[in-house]
Structure 1
């Protein structure tokens, strides 16, 4: 037999933003209980008092799973260097037998010019290359025989250095990207290593994205 607590917990888990807000104690539980009540009653097939739902929400917000948010905040307070680069171009190519050879030629060119930005990631079917606009024509020349499926200019990158403990705390990236989503920021690309990640956004959104990430340190 399902309980009120189980139904309420399932309801909250289906709404990640609501779960995060509940964990931070910024939601009026009485108001939330009224919103949850119709679904709880439908699920249980009987009338349920608001007070019972409020108690279930309170227990849920105190649960260890929700307190994990505080572990996330401790990590975010120790965010390191945040680096912003502008005037970038993003290329996406289909993987081919010759694409690594062309990428090696590009890396040689990058090594000759230490001031340019370069990053790359490879999936099963696609290769992504992000470079400074000054290398745009070089990429087009070296990869002229490859199939380019997408190209975008006027982009900026934000690279964030995370503390080493980020790998042992679940939900770090979810929490960061959730905040960016709340601000309506569109992520064009996400590239990560063990202790840092880079996001690519349109130039007009870079200031808002930078502020959102920087503000995480003061939550």
Structure 2
């Protein structure tokens, strides 16, 4: 521009015994299946937000600000971001699926536990609000964000990132209040094939021109 209840089935009634004689000896009852040999051997990683705060303070704070509230327009705000999204991006930086020499260097220093700790810490921080700056652009940005561009089959950003920019945990990132400069740079990177770790976003950004990208980015900055 970012569910389990009880079954409704009742037990089947017992079948009536057959009046016909059995044709022969009953087959032996099969032995119970052996336990699944492929079951996970280790428990899921439990995040430690306190350890995440300590690691963030030594590795990330210089660029992303205290509590993830970056004051530099080129560096994204990370506060209140969905932990699953942060972990995914760090993993992809580390693996080289998302290209950024600076972030790849930092991510290479992190273990899986570090990533989950940092993500848990940032997800619990309160994001500071941002502001739209261009009245003309923000009107166009709102139109695209809420309604898309129908004649180019560009979907509304709100469909995935929610009307208020809160995103959807585990699926789509929070955008509300994000720096307009950063959002615009990422949309251009998706459109131009520089950022390749989301084919869905690349396909959407390919439908937007420079002015439309700036407009959406400015509108997103003011969402709250």
Decide which structure has the larger Cα Rg and report it: 2
Q: Which has the higher strand share?
A: 1
Same fold (TM over 0.5): no
Question: Normalization by structure 2: what TM-score?
Answer: 0.29
Larger RCO (alpha carbons 8 Å, 6+ apart): 2
Q: Which has the higher helix share?
A: 1
